[in-house]
Amino acid sequence: MSELAIIIPTYNESRNIRPLVARLDVACDGIDWNVLFVDDDSPDGTSEVVVEVGRSHPRVSCLKRVGRRGLSSACIEGMQRAKASVYAVMDADLQHDESRLPLMFAEIRSGADICIGTRYAAGGSVGNWGMWRRFVSRSATWMTNLLLGSRMSDPMSGFFMVRNEVMQGVFPQLEGQGFKILLDIVVHADRSAVIREVPYTFRPRLEGESKLGGGVIVALLVFLMKKAPRRLLGR
């Protein structure tokens, strides 16, 4: 079992695999880590690139899913497949700052159960987002904290770490639908779980396709209305 397994869901990210692995090599130096790319049968050959890279890089592996898609379910399957004390989740599109992984891992080592890479705490940034995207993201954050009674600065983050023990406790309850994997974990984790945050700057996308469609807010509201009573009542 490694110290850290990095779970990266992919769809049409073939051109990002090699540069991302190279960046992880540098960022995670000194940590016993591995990376599992969970690919939803990308037509651009993403899984084939991962397998090729893995032949010369023993830390790199691929789980190819055929006949099913979804960011949350890909993350769940990846964490269930990987063997590690701590799981990290991040995207393959190079927008998440891999250099923050050691800081997040240090927070876990020092007692955090979940560590969120945040764009909104002091020192973080959404980069060159337009006004509309900033408004939508801020609205989602406000709505989430209001309905869940939480104080996360970036609850919609797709960049986070979580202890294996936390995941073992929540796996049976996770929906695995859409993109709300962090929220699903937080809702079902014990209320005593320690959540910390590490700021980072969101980078521009270079290659591949965005995973979020136009129904983000509607899907989030449906999710929160269903989950909020459980979280507020501690059930």
* Total count of residues recorded for the chain: 235
Token pair 């993403």 in the structure block, residue:
46
Q: Supply the Cα-derived Rg of the chain in whole angstroms.
A: 17
Q: Considering all CA atoms of the chain, what is the largest pairwise distance in Å, rounded to the nearest integer?
A: 50
Rounded CA separation 172/86 (Å): 18
Strand partners, 115: 161, 196
**pLDDT tens, position by position, 7-62:** 999 999 999 999 999 999 999 999 999 999 999 999 999 999 999 999 999 999 99
Residues 6+ apart with CB under 8 A from 29: none
pLDDT of the residue at 113: 98
Give pTM, 2 decimals: 0.86
Higher pLDDT, 218 or 99: 99
Secondary-structure class of domain 2-129+154-208 per CATH: alpha beta
Tokens of 216: 């983000």
- Cβ neighbours, 10 Å, residue 234: 7
CB contact at 8 A, 93 and 207: yes
pLDDT of the residue at 206: 55
Domain ranges, ordered by start, for the chain: 2-129+154-208
Is residue 217 scored above 90 in pLDDT? no
**pLDDT tens, position by position, 103-129:** 999 999 999 999 999 988 888 887 776
pLDDT of the residue at 230: 56
Q: How many CA atoms lie within 13 A of 88 on its CB side?
A: 30
